[in-house]
Structure 1
Amino acid sequence: SQAAPAVARAIVQLGGTVHQNCAARGIETEGGRLCGVLTESGTIRTKAAVLAGGAWASSFCRQFGFRFPQASIRSSILSVSPGAGGLPDALHTAKISATRRGDGGYTLAISGRGRVDVTPQQLRFASQFVPMFLKRWRSLAPGGLQGVRSGHETLQRWRLDRPTPMERMRILDP
């Protein structure tokens, strides 16, 4: 995708910095406003930050009293190297979805095969997501314990001076 590099470039052009491969553990506030981001490498003093936590975003926000409804659904996908021709940039059918990546390759997914792990976080936001799940019930199946095992669905609080669930599993591969 071209979105992440474009956002990073815009942040730098606006005078910000981008920190990759450096897990954020928490935030510091002063007078109700952000004044720093605590990372595994130390504190970054700032008045503004972009949350790019992916599947961990909701759990991260909960640590600090912010409500960020998020539902995780697992599905099988595969990556096709650049060179495939004749496909549009995006395609969705009842059987398959294909999306062109920034490198010219494609990400392919099997449509209608999503798995929903029943986790405390899924239950927490159930009132917001159950109506959508009911509309798509034919495309969903009960999942397993992957959401609990990987830590991205946790409701537990973590200490800021120790590794977080994001550091234990940096790339979500349930």
Structure 2
Amino acid sequence: MSHRAPVLLPLTTDRLTLRAHESDDAGRLHGIYSQPEVARYLLDEPWTEADATRHVSERLAKTGLDDESHALALVIEHEGTPVGDVLLWLTDTEHRIAEIGWVLDPAHGGQGLAREAVGEVLRIAFEHYRLHRVTAQMDARNDASARLAAALGMRQEAHFRQDWWNKGEWTDTLVFALLFGDR
């Protein structure tokens, strides 16, 4: 990708602040990712405190698609409290293709916060980074994420049956995508 000015953080929406991860987010994100209902559809088991420290440490370096990490990791804050995070990472630098993923604390679900946060990151993906395509892959049982992807205009392109062995069982994967021209 050609070098451009970095995304100016934090990003703000009507109700949210999206900011870079900070070291002290480990405790807050542990509270979210340690919940079995959050980890159910993720590749990781519920986070321990050590997992949270390691993951946040890794995310500290993910400050933009043009930097060495080729990734942008943002904490979602609502009323000053971290309620989840959104990650965007390049999967094909030359052709400007990326993947997006998100997690929201179930205690804050049903309010449109994930839609607001992920929608803003998709806006940055296409308007700032000028990406050609952004995909989202998820466990097919994750109805909330599938509804969110569809609500954001992402098209379901695939339903892979029993393609992933995860946590002792075969799971299906849904793939959604949004193209620059779809917006």
Q: Give the TM-score, by structure 1 length.
A: 0.23
Which protein has the larger Cα radius of gyration, Structure 1 or Structure 2? 1
